[in-house]
Amino acid sequence: MGRAAVLTGIGSTVPEQVVTNDMLAARMDTSDEWIRSRTGIRERRRVGVGTATSDLAVEAGRRALKSAGVESVDALVLATTTPDHPCPATAPTVASGLGLGPIPAFDVAAVCSGFLYAMATAAGLISLGTADRVLVVGAEAFTTIIDPDDRNTAPIFGDGAGAVVLTAGHQSDRGALLAFDLGADGDLADLIVVPAGGSRQRTSGVEPGPTDHFMKMQGRTVFVNAVNRMTESSRTVLRRTGWDPGSVDWLVGHQANVRILHAVADQLDLPGERAFVNVDSVGNTAAASIPLALDDAARAGRLAPGDRVVLTAFGGGATWGAITLEWPDLAAL
């Protein structure tokens, strides 16, 4: 059996400030009923004044290290769409904040698929022998790139962070990441885009407009592409793992919208209740979404050791991916 990356610790955090649907309805033309029926979201969290992505990442990382019962790792990979600064990467700040010493630390940018890309990257470091233990964090202060007056995006997105510890082990170990599938299609780059702040806008000779630093999303096209790509990617990893789709205990999809999650389950012929949902209470937290969902599921006792789990995501880029694992026996704190 080859060297594998095994999930040995998990942790997450969300900021204290709750934003309810009624609070949004007081600001814009929307309603609690409209938001809940179309997205399944009741409330989301928002960072307070002075809290940046790295602050959330450090707290989630600290909890994951505690869950794993370790104080050091050999590398840190951070998935984020909302780094503390355009330059440098945020991961070194997170590593310093956790007192992890001069370990390699870098960011991975794949928007809502970022955490799966970061897991695959970390598993690569482990399989090469570059690292024996890696902290993988997904963290977002996503509301900082959301137009507070955009009724298409403001109800959907929230802030938070989740992290896992991956440790070198064997494919037969419970918690081993068993199969990966990653993909991207740059022809769909315009589906989810922040127009300003990058070299394209800076060299355009045109000053950014007042909302150009906020994310724009083509919701309907994203919906169809998300369902199709998450379904195909899940089928690919199921085939590579040798699992029958019906044997999956939990589909832990990127928490974009409850109707996307149920549509993916439907396409895979899985009962809707096997799609884990926490988007109702945290909204779409982009790269933080999957580890946040896993930690919520583990702490609620929904994930039992040995459960067959499929992780899948679709996000800006466009990017997508899926990973299979059997849930390990670990401390969810």
Partner 1 sequence: MDTTVNTRVVELVAAKAELPVAELGLERTFEDIGLDSLHLMEIALWMQKEYGVVIPEGDLRHDQPLGEALAYLDAKTR
**Known catalytic residues?**
112, 254, 284
CA distances from 306 to 156, 175, 228, 267 (A): 33, 8, 28, 24
For residue 36, state whether it binds partner 1 (rule: CB under 8 A): no
**Size of the residue set binding partner 1 (CB under 8 A):** 12
For residue 37, state whether it binds partner 1 (rule: CB under 8 A): yes
Residues 241 to 300 in contact with partner 1, rule: CB under 8 A: 259, 263, 266-267
For residue 72, state whether it binds partner 1 (rule: CB under 8 A): no
- 160: its two tokens: 């938070």
Identity of the residue, 259 or 299, whose beta carbon is nearer to partner 1 in the bound complex: 259
Identity of residue 330 = L
Identity of residue 78 = L
Please state the closest distance from residue 6 (CB atom) to partner 1, in A.
Answer: 35
CA distance 43 to 157: 10
Identity of the residue, 51 or 267, whose beta carbon is nearer to partner 1 in the bound complex: 267
- 321: its two tokens: 């991916």
The residue from 58, 100, 163, 227 that contacts partner 1 (CB under 8 A) is 227
Please state the closest distance from residue 34 (CB atom) to partner 1, in A.
Answer: 9
For residue 171, state whether it binds partner 1 (rule: CB under 8 A): no
Identity of the residue, 37 or 72, whose beta carbon is nearer to partner 1 in the bound complex: 37
For residue 223, state whether it binds partner 1 (rule: CB under 8 A): yes
Please state the closest distance from residue 156 (CB atom) to partner 1, in A.
Answer: 13
CA distance 54 to 28: 30
Strand ranges for the chain from DSSP E: 3-13, 17-20, 43-46, 75-79, 105-108, 133-140, 160-170, 177-184, 192-193, 216-217, 250-253, 308-315, 319-326
β-sheet with 177-184: strand ranges across: 177-184, 319-326, 308-315, 250-253
For residue 32, state whether it binds partner 1 (rule: CB under 8 A): no
DSSP state of 321: E
The residue from 26, 187, 220, 273 that contacts partner 1 (CB under 8 A) is 220
Residue numbers at the binding site for partner 1 (CB under 8 A): 37-38, 220-221, 223-224, 227-228, 259, 263, 266-267
